[in-house]
Structure 1
Amino acid sequence: MTSVENLAKEWLRIDQDPSTREEISGLLSEGNHSELEVRLKHRITFGTAGLRARMEAGFSRINALTVIQTSQGFASYVLKQVTNAKRRGIVIGFDGRHNSEKFAKLAAAAFAAKGIKVWWLEILVHTPLVPFAISELRAAAGVMITASHNPPQDNGYKVYWENGCQIVSPHDSRITKAILANLEPLSWNDAVEEQSLLVEAVLSQMQEAYFRAIHRAVFVERNQMQPQTEPIRFVYTPLHGVGLPYLTRAVQDLNLSDSMTVVSQQAHPDPDFPTVKFPNPEEKGALDLAIQTADANNIDLVLANDPDADRFSAAIKVSSIWHQLTGNQIGILLASHMLETYTHQQHQEDRLSANTRPSSSTQPPKLVMLASAVSSRMLSAMAHAENFHFVETLTGFKWLGNAAQYLARSGNYDPIFAFEEAIGYMFPTVVADKDGIAAAAIFLRACLRWRADGGHSPWEKLQALYQKYGFFAEENFYVVSPSVEVTDAVFARIRSMGKEEAEVGELVYPKRLGENRIVRWRDLTIGYDSATADRVPELPVQKDVQMLTAELENDVRFTVRASGTEPKVKVYIDAKAEDMDGAERKARVVSGAVRQEWLKGL
């Protein structure tokens, strides 16, 4: 008997799901060893975002068995690492994808089998409600069953730590070891939420608390509601996801419920996402139905969430032309609104303090906003001009969330906003992760303010921000890589391209890209930064993630990065100039040079 046949026998021994048993049994009887090897030989990798994979039988896929095994390992790890974990419990939520509820119930059974309290969110929820509930309940951890905006055949198992943030290393590798030590299923009970005293339904309680937090974030200014102005009409699409009931409730406080037109074909959860090629608002064509709906109703603003509603996008019609805002543009608009709101609030508090209390030399915490290393430098430019603190982190909200909490705990900083170019926005007073519902509500609140202040649309406000802080343009793209080995070879070649000009003992990064000299190198894979005194990067080094950043003499910064979840090499180009045409031209030139000089072979 071959090794793959042994793996198939082991699968059939422990799998109690009839559908996946039938898949493996069928492949075994057909003698399809190549497919069995793909499915069984390599276990699905647990990373800092948890699991995400195609739903089908096999140890390398996501299915009932791998969800149970993952849950048992995660439970074992949480019990060892978190004080009073059994009593504090684990929050579980699920979205509208195929098998999401089933996987959530099996995870609950695994946690209950380990004696851990389960805080159960009973029906479809948006992803941010899980980290919110962890903080609200002071839970030990949380799990959300979702694959966000992946294709219909995928699902995922997203984990959060006791601080309500996504986990960071070394939790992922340690959880992997715990999973391997807990492979024998303890329970296949898919009705545990109805039978176990350890499982407590908390959805209504958490939703009410969440919307109170949204209300506080939307109406930060003391004793101030939205300006009295003509309501803003907008079209909304949840892209066949779970966002509609959450946004509907969130906009009630804005008195905009009657102003929202919903894309009827995409209004309700549908795990097949029938009207879009990819259920991601960033993808070309994803907002076509929403724009058609807007045109049919003479509406100039479209808002969208991805299917699990943790991301947010917007499109604006300007002189009959639709412009879908980039993640960076939305980020800078929200940052501007948060700065104006914070400044207004501080002025109110200063006046109150002057009237009611003796003066004090104690300075308030310094305002801070954050963005990831692949996002626009425009937030940094705003921080420099407005004298607030800017922090850059590695890619991903696991870094942004943890960094914001670290700064807040220091007592010296007040983090109020963070964003990433991939249409993700975080408001730490609501949740320590990206939140598409909070982002949509606060964006609408900002629109009302801009209209009241000067009759400005979001597009006009964005142009004013460019005039004030500089014109920034982006040119982001990706190329598909056939394998990890090819990707590693591409990065190795880039790192050696300057060898002919290098002095003995020097690193051999290229010194030019096209016609422009490279003035700074940052390599977060090997740990090198030419701009620091000791040549050590300020950001954490990740030796298992390929990531290079270069700055050019013509005020362009770009990053080349291997995706951690897809077979792609991603390029992020950020160019600054005195006008938008100049910035866009710079970005295009650099994009062409990177493709031609660096990404040959892909």
Structure 2
Amino acid sequence: MTQPTTDDINDITQKIQEWLSIDENLETRNQIEKLALDKFDNYDKLNDLLSKRIVFGTAGLRSRMEAGFNRMNDVTVLQTSQGLAEYIKKRNGIDNNNNNKQLSIVIGHDHRFNSKSFAYITIAIFLLKGFKVYYIGDDDCATPMVPFAIDKFNSLGGIMITASHNPKDDNGYKVYWSNGCQIIPPHDINIENEILNNLNPILNLNKDNNEINKIFINFKNNLIYCYNEIVSNYISNLIKILNPKPINFKIIYTAMHGIGFKFINEIISKIILNPNENFKFVKEQCNPDPNFSTVKFPNPEEKNALNLSIKTANNLGNDYKLILANDPDADRFTIAFKNKNNIWRQLSGNEIGILFTDYIINTQFIEKNKSINNIYILNSTVSSQMIESISKKLGFKFKDTLTGFKWIGNKAIELENQNFNVPFAYEEAIGFMFSTVHDKDGIAALIVFLQLYNRLLIEGLDPIEKLEQLYKIYGNFKQCNGYYITSNSNIIDYIFNKIIRIDNNSQIYPKFIGNYKVIYWRDLTIGYDSSTKDNKPELYVDPNSQMITCKVITSDDDNTNDEDDEFIRFTARGSGTEPKLKVYIEAKASTEERAQFLADDVWRTLREEWFQPEQHNLVEQRV
């Protein structure tokens, strides 16, 4: 506990007064008022809530819902919306009379607590600022429908109120630009600066005075309710682009207490034969539930998250061998299947991404005698480098980006503007992008996987058997990913700045980590890349975000393997939305067993040499 000084108490008192002068929400006002009764004992909490402002991370704003400028609440949503509206106006012709686009915005929300009320505040602000608002509501919408609607309406941007797969007490404010992609620098910093210039509320947040409803009535000509239109157009467009063929096998689906079921159910009914028998769902998880009552953490890639789905499948009988899952806002996707030994196996994001890459390149191009010289497949730099190995052998192009679909989507558009085709991109955190939107789309991913799985059934293979075939052709790649949770975010900076980085001008990075020899080092925090002529990275450098990528080989005297045949590549980075230190390790070797051993051994080495969880009070979690 910090012992505050008199100056600290004076500063926090000013922050308390500032907050109470704005906040009209009785619940969040009461939180601050109670803490303010004893500013000394509650100083740390008050300082955390009020002294910093919530900032844009890897997916817009995302935080716990409670009082304070550093949390998700009515005040921060209002101030963010005011700043964002002004920034969009300035960037799109309001100040220089260059009105090539209508002043419009797309707004949607999921089913979480406060999502609709946050959306209403956002809509009201944009209406007051002169925007036409395309509102994908009052029902809950899937996140991919927001970028789809931006493209359809030629809008200047979009906002999705969601915290995706975060715990129930969190919410978020995801911002898209006019290209249908999540914002990237310098938009994020410029928006934050514009927020600071527009803190004074133009909307009274006292919900009892019904001001928001009055604004909706007064600006009714600029408030377009487009839920039915967007859902219908999205589904039609998806079916047109993906062109799914009829399937005739049994599947189990879970929406993970989210909003995916109604969309999946409608699409599945169009392509599955005998849907009443072949399509079953996890009843406890397919109605939107903001409490996420059957899972501790509503992320379908987390350990044990699919337990209820497996139980449902087992109860229905041995014919149900495939489980499909979306996360709560339906932009992510994963699967589990029952192998020939009747054992359930969940695929990782990388395994799904590799299968998708092989399927799309072969079915859309090679088998149709179409050239792949103009094709790019993208993934994030923490995802499997096996895609690069496949690209070198087949002849298509590959590029990796920073983590997050804001980077993948914008890179795809950049390449498309150069007349390249980007039919697929992915990141290991079960996010997959097709030609439907320039963002991850869990609904599209599910439909494509059904086609892929049907093809495997015809070939007499399960997904792992298919992967084993691909490993024999392109090399054995195995991962060991995980993270460390901390209650003190300063520890992450300490580990990177004091343990990992070397403060020595003659040696920028360590030559060895344990028994492993370093052959490549990239630091996107300080801006260093050992592989480029000027040692400057090609990827975006962010001094406010910790991220180091390293490639190592074993240093055994009897190791005669070529560096391309056996290596380990890993990335360590701080999370942009959670107090986590994330670690992604991938090894390539002559056998699957050797590759997995190396990946696991590097995890142990980094644990001992760098992260030292016992000493730094970190909670270790491997996934």
> One fold, TM greater than 0.5?
yes
* Aligned: 1:296 with 2:301: no
Give the whole-Å Cα distance in 1 for the aligned partners of 2:380 and 2:372: 26
Alpha-carbon displacement from aligned partner over 1:72-113 (angstroms, at most 9, x marks no partner): 110000000124488341100000100100100110000001
What is the 5 A alignment of 1:468-487?
468-487=473-492
- 2:373–2:396 contact (8 Å) kept in structure 1: no
What is the 5 A alignment of 1:306-345?
306-318=327-339, 319-343=341-365
Give the whole-Å Cα distance in 1 for the aligned partners of 2:396 and 2:366: 15
CA spacing shift, 1:521–1:274, aligned 2, 3 Å: same
Secondary structure class of the residue paired with 1:592: helix
Indicate the residue corresponding to 2:421 in structure 1: 414
* Aligned: 1:513 with 2:513: yes
Indicate the residue corresponding to 2:620 in structure 1: none
- 2:57–2:577 contact (8 Å) kept in structure 1: no
CA spacing shift, 1:508–1:27, aligned 2, 3 Å: closer
Indicate the residue corresponding to 1:254 in structure 2: 271
Give the whole-Å Cα distance in 1 for the aligned partners of 2:268 and 2:343: 27
Task: Measure how far apart 1:37 and its partner are.
Answer: 2.9
Matched letter for residue 167 of structure 1: I
Task: Measure how far apart 1:494 and its partner are.
Answer: 4.2
Give the whole-Å Cα distance in 2 for the aligned partners of 1:52 and 1:456: 41
Indicate the residue corresponding to 2:81 in structure 1: 71
Give the whole-Å Cα distance in 2 for the aligned partners of 1:293 and 1:468: 37
Give the whole-Å Cα distance in 2 for the aligned partners of 1:484 and 1:10: 26
Indicate the residue corresponding to 1:184 in structure 2: 200
Secondary structure class of the residue paired with 1:569: strand
Name stretches of at least 5 consecutive residues in structure 2 with no aligned partner: 1-8, 94-98, 205-210, 554-565, 617-623
Task: Measure how far apart 1:345 and its partner are.
Answer: 7.0
Task: Measure how far apart 1:42 and its partner are.
Answer: 1.8
Indicate the residue corresponding to 1:245 in structure 2: 262
Alpha-carbon displacement from aligned partner over 1:164-192 (angstroms, at most 9, x marks no partner): 00001111111111111111211243334
Alpha-carbon displacement from aligned partner over 1:467-495 (angstroms, at most 9, x marks no partner): 22111110001112443432222112344
Indicate the residue corresponding to 1:442 in structure 2: 448
- 1:4–1:33 contact (8 Å) kept in structure 2: no
Give the whole-Å Cα distance in 2 for the aligned partners of 1:287 and 1:364: 37
Indicate the residue corresponding to 2:432 in structure 1: 425
Give the whole-Å Cα distance in 1 for the aligned partners of 2:241 and 2:203: 42
Matched letter for residue 272 of structure 1: N
- 1:316–1:459 contact (8 Å) kept in structure 2: no
Which of 364, 379, 396 does residue 404 from structure 2 map onto?
A: 396
Indicate the residue corresponding to 2:305 in structure 1: 286
Give the whole-Å Cα distance in 1 for the aligned partners of 2:609 and 2:158: 44
Which of 569, 577, 596 does residue 557 from structure 1 map onto?
A: 569
Which of 210, 222, 232 does residue 208 from structure 1 map onto?
A: 232
Give the whole-Å Cα distance in 1 for the aligned partners of 2:109 and 2:521: 42
Alpha-carbon displacement from aligned partner over 1:434-493 (angstroms, at most 9, x marks no partner): 1111111111111122223x2323232222222221111100011124434322221123
CA spacing shift, 1:312–1:268, aligned 2, 3 Å: same
Matched letter for residue 61 of structure 1: R
CA spacing shift, 1:179–1:417, aligned 2, 3 Å: same
* Aligned: 1:488 with 2:493: yes
Matched letter for residue 107 of structure 2: I
Give the whole-Å Cα distance in 1 for the aligned partners of 2:599 and 2:58: 32
Indicate the residue corresponding to 2:542 in structure 1: 542
Give the whole-Å Cα distance in 1 for the aligned partners of 2:50 and 2:548: 34
Indicate the residue corresponding to 1:15 in structure 2: 23
Give the whole-Å Cα distance in 1 for the aligned partners of 2:503 and 2:118: 51
Matched letter for residue 227 of structure 2: L
Which of 214, 217, 241 does residue 217 from structure 1 map onto?
A: 241
- 1:47–1:173 contact (8 Å) kept in structure 2: no
Give the whole-Å Cα distance in 2 for the aligned partners of 1:261 and 1:496: 52
Which of 582, 588, 602 does residue 570 from structure 1 map onto?
A: 582
Which of 572, 581, 588 does residue 600 from structure 2 map onto?
A: 588
* Aligned: 1:60 with 2:70: yes
Give the whole-Å Cα distance in 2 for the aligned partners of 1:383 and 1:457: 23
CA spacing shift, 1:57–1:498, aligned 2, 3 Å: closer
Give the whole-Å Cα distance in 2 for the aligned partners of 1:151 and 1:57: 17
* Aligned: 1:305 with 2:326: yes
Matched letter for residue 262 of structure 2: P
Indicate the residue corresponding to 2:523 in structure 1: 523
Matched letter for residue 475 of structure 2: G
Indicate the residue corresponding to 1:163 in structure 2: 179
Indicate the residue corresponding to 2:161 in structure 1: 145
CA spacing shift, 1:494–1:346, aligned 2, 3 Å: farther
- 2:297–2:305 contact (8 Å) kept in structure 1: yes
Give the whole-Å Cα distance in 2 for the aligned partners of 1:597 and 1:376: 24
Give the whole-Å Cα distance in 1 for the aligned partners of 2:230 and 2:103: 15
Name stretches of at least 5 consecutive residues in structure 1 with no aligned partner: 220-224, 351-362, 500-504
Task: Measure how far apart 1:513 and its partner are.
Answer: 2.4
- 2:300–2:327 contact (8 Å) kept in structure 1: yes
Alpha-carbon displacement from aligned partner over 1:524-562 (angstroms, at most 9, x marks no partner): 222222222332222222222111111112411111111
- 1:91–1:143 contact (8 Å) kept in structure 2: yes
Secondary structure class of the residue paired with 1:476: strand
Alpha-carbon displacement from aligned partner over 1:198-242 (angstroms, at most 9, x marks no partner): 1101112211221122113322xxxxx627x6x121111111000
- 2:101–2:154 contact (8 Å) kept in structure 1: no
Task: Measure how far apart 1:19 and its partner are.
Answer: 2.2
- 1:105–1:193 contact (8 Å) kept in structure 2: no
Indicate the residue corresponding to 1:128 in structure 2: 144
TM-score for both structures, normalised by structure 2: 0.88
- 1:563–1:569 contact (8 Å) kept in structure 2: yes
Indicate the residue corresponding to 1:460 in structure 2: 465
Secondary structure class of the residue paired with 2:266: helix
Secondary structure class of the residue paired with 1:407: helix
Task: Measure how far apart 1:33 and its partner are.
Answer: 4.5
Secondary structure class of the residue paired with 1:417: strand
Secondary structure class of the residue paired with 2:581: strand
Secondary structure class of the residue paired with 1:410: coil
Task: Measure how far apart 1:497 and its partner are.
Answer: 5.2
* Aligned: 1:89 with 2:89: no
Between the two proteins, the alignment pairs up a number of residues equal to 573
Give the whole-Å Cα distance in 1 for the aligned partners of 2:414 and 2:389: 23
CA spacing shift, 1:482–1:85, aligned 2, 3 Å: farther
TM-score for both structures, normalised by structure 1: 0.91
- 1:226–1:449 contact (8 Å) kept in structure 2: no
* Aligned: 1:112 with 2:122: no
What is the 5 A alignment of 1:219-234?
219=243, 226=245, 231-234=248-251
Indicate the residue corresponding to 1:357 in structure 2: none
Indicate the residue corresponding to 1:383 in structure 2: 391
CA spacing shift, 1:85–1:272, aligned 2, 3 Å: farther
Indicate the residue corresponding to 2:116 in structure 1: 101
Which of 377, 382, 395 does residue 374 from structure 1 map onto?
A: 382
Indicate the residue corresponding to 2:208 in structure 1: none
Which of 457, 462, 483 does residue 451 from structure 1 map onto?
A: 457
Which of 210, 214, 222 does residue 198 from structure 1 map onto?
A: 222
